[in-house]
Amino acid sequence: MTRRKTHRFLQNAESANVIEIGKPLYKTIRGNWRTAYFKNNNPVVLELACGKGEYTVGLAQAFPEVNFIGVDIKGDRIARGAKAAQTLGLHNVAFLRTDINFLTEFFTAGEVNELWITFPDPQPRPKQEKHRLTHPRFLSTYQRLLVAGGTLHVKTDSPELFAYSLEQVKQAQVADLQFTTDLYNSPLNGIHLGIKTKYEQLFFDKGFTINYLQCKMGVI
């Protein structure tokens, strides 16, 4: 392990806004995010595979009356988002270090109001399909965790993943599906508030179009 990673792991251990194995809330937070962590009854929004937390932090700045949780398994990435939130004095941000396969161990049915998936690994090979974050098994989980009519957002630069995601979403029980294959030249552009992750900016600068969809999920 590099010295930089070691420093970031130590930072996570000391950061109140990082919930990870070994901390008391890690085992008790399920169903208690508003009461035990945020100390309010505001809406809860997840960003899955949040990486360095750029989108989580950006949204938290834009919506101070909403609680945002970035979820990722990579501790060194989460550490950067956690530090950024602390530097900005944001108290409506938390980061959960866990595998997305275990979401139901940390959230109860209907505990989440909105869910963002921003630039996930496209898992392009056929045998990787079950690992795509818009695979039916994941969509089924999102249906359970979201409140009735909760919103799912998906952003990706991968045309193949987007086509796959759109097909899976259409087959699921959703409502009010909206999508575009060129977000920045679409009426839907305002939804993302101009927030770009590092990789999104790189894709955009190279001329790639950004694919986006949103729909209502949960028990509608």
Spatial CA neighbour of 78 closest among 11, 177, 178: 11
> What is the spatial distance between Cα 59 and Cα 78, in angstroms, rounded to a whole number?
16
25: its two tokens: 């809330």
DSSP class of residue 119? S
Per-residue pLDDT of the chain (220 residues; tens, 9 = 90+): 576 677 788 888 889 999 999 999 999 999 999 999 999 999 999 999 999 999 999 999 999 999 999 999 999 999 999 999 999 999 999 999 999 999 999 999 999 999 999 999 999 999 999 999 999 999 999 999 999 999 999 999 999 999 999 999 999 989 999 999 999 999 999 888 888 888 788 888 888 899 999 999 975 5
Catalytic option among 72, 76, 99, 121: 121
Length of the chain: 220
> What is the spatial distance between Cα 63 and Cα 48, in angstroms, rounded to a whole number?
18
121 given a catalytic annotation:
yes
> What is the spatial distance between Cα 84 and Cα 80, in angstroms, rounded to a whole number?
6
